Structure 1
Amino acid sequence: MTALSVLDLSPITEGSNARQSLQCSLSLAQHCEALGFQRYWLAEHHNMAGIASAATAVAIGFIAAGTQSIRVGAGGVMLPNHAPLLIAEQFGTLESLYPGRIDLGLGRAPGTDQATAQALRRNLDSDPNQFPNDVVELLNYFGPGEGQLVRAIPGVGLNVPVWILGSSLFGAQLAAALGLPYAFASHFAPAQLDEALQIYRSRFRPSSYLDKPKVMVAVSVFAADSDEAGELLASSMQQTFVALRRGNPGPLKPPVPGYRDSLHPADRMMLDGVMACAAIGSEDTVEKALREILARTQADELIVTSQIYDHQARLDSYSRLAEINCRL
């Protein structure tokens, strides 16, 4: 068996709202906890009509309060949007409330457009080296705090596990240099997956956090009772990717039969690239795809995202995945 986790954007479906979306996220977290999944991460995105997890620390608290043992965290917090002290205090508070269950994944992309970035009070002309500096500052807030003029309270001494997230080579280099675990966003940007993992593993420096590299790979999974049914489930996410690339994001739409075949060849090519690290179809088809991904990446853990319009179908997909994992 492979360690499995969940990456949730808390999708707002067409005709629904954020409250219903977050309730569905809690239902999914409880379901996956019962199935034995390792962790449940939520992602920070702003000004997105189809995503309910913008206030990521608040959403994490909601999920952690409604579960018992599954680790809950951020996949991730976009650190350039925040002062490291505030994130240390937020996640120190979460760790104080739910000890031993909180993770903090950090990314450097703003996760939004420039207008929204400005509304978040970001300095768009900031030093590109600021992200590594901010990560080190944040790590120090979780340390013993000796001699520090400013301390994160709660936060100091709690050693909240920090992951570096990335979809390029930059994050791999940083995670390796700091000796931190690394998660690659291959569910939407798989192009540099192999090179990033090679760089991370070859340059990894043992640290007080890890003595050897630890890799998590993100995968989109749509498991159903047939290949055709899996492709139908995936069409909702495919519509989201096409709308996003056209600058018109919105709520998660209902599935459309034959959606991919209806697209312009350029859009089909884009989808093929974006979803190159996905497992879609019957249990046999999904198992084969996951085996290939694991053989290719030698990942220590897979974190699975499944933006599925129908909540029951989403629960069913994760149930099937848990059964498949018993055979991996």
Structure 2
Amino acid sequence: MSANVKTEEQILQDMLNNISNIYEKSVGYLTYDITKTNAIELAKVYQYALSIANLRLVKDLSGDDLTARVYDNKGTVRKVATKAKVVLALEGTGKIQKGDLFSTANNIQFISLETKPITEIGSILAECTQSGVIGMVGANSITQIPITLPGFTEVTNPNASYDGFEEETDEALKQRYYDALRNPITSNNQAHFIYWAKSVTGVGNAKVIPLWNGDLTVKVIIIDSNMQPASADLVNTVQEYIDPKGEYDSNTNTWSLWGTGTGQSAIGNYCSVVSAIAKNIDIACSISKDNGYSDEEIKANISNKITEYLKEIAFSTIVNYVSNAKVISLILSANGVLDVQNVKVNGSINNNVIIGEEEVAVMGTVTLL
């Protein structure tokens, strides 16, 4: 609590001290009782005044108050949750209607985004009915047709779903707000390109490589909000926002819009947006395991621990490697692991794994030797 905010007891004592000692101020006497009741109410006024004062400080805000304040102060908009998309492969002959449902075995549902006739085999674009990472499912996991669709016998998703993101957290929103304050944004400097990229829903972080392909060229490398390589759709969205390329003319080898200033970037700048390249981190180790844990459970626990660590260091400006020592400590902290030996990170026992400028480390496989 702020030193300027008095507690009920402090208020009471200060008020009693301001009353002449010719009056009896002991507990139970009228002077004390009246002063006590005033102190109770004044303490509430102090707390209310503190809450009003705190509204000026972004660090003390949350939820809708934070959303409104950072927008008013800096024009920073909280990113909304998005629904994961997926391409579904179907077998059968008939017509898929927009709104038809498909699901995983554990009833995560996806809804068709298009009406499309299919003969024997075909594909459609679908979207999860729920927002957030719940819709991020692996390949070949959408196999159910909850309501019979005449003529169709099988459905699956050859590839994992993509671009399902949670609403931006208070912490992430504050960080973007503070980044905008601490890194002055001037016309088309590096901070400006990063700001533009990170303002797009689904982008978790961004890097800028200036003059990467000659004068007036800028490369923006992005990862998504799950700290994974960005999807083609997300890359295209960021590209369109910063510097739309438009249509390519093969006769003149030019794009119709690129570098014309039709996006956020200034006229004459040529910005290429790309996804970071995944660098798989594969772990192999020998462990002593606790009773009651299967190998699969332990591998999942190790994978989860290391995944969170990789998210923390993704696109870090300080650390450009995966620490071998950190990996060992995370394995030891995983539920079910009593001890570990012979830890290999990407085949190496003692070396850190360097992450390239355009790479992002992602969790690979866990092998128990």
The TM-score with structure 1 as length reference comes to: 0.23
Q: Give the structure with the larger strand fraction.
A: 2
Q: Give the structure with the larger helix fraction.
A: 1
Relative contact order, higher structure (CA 8 A, sep 6+)? 1
The TM-score with structure 2 as length reference comes to: 0.21
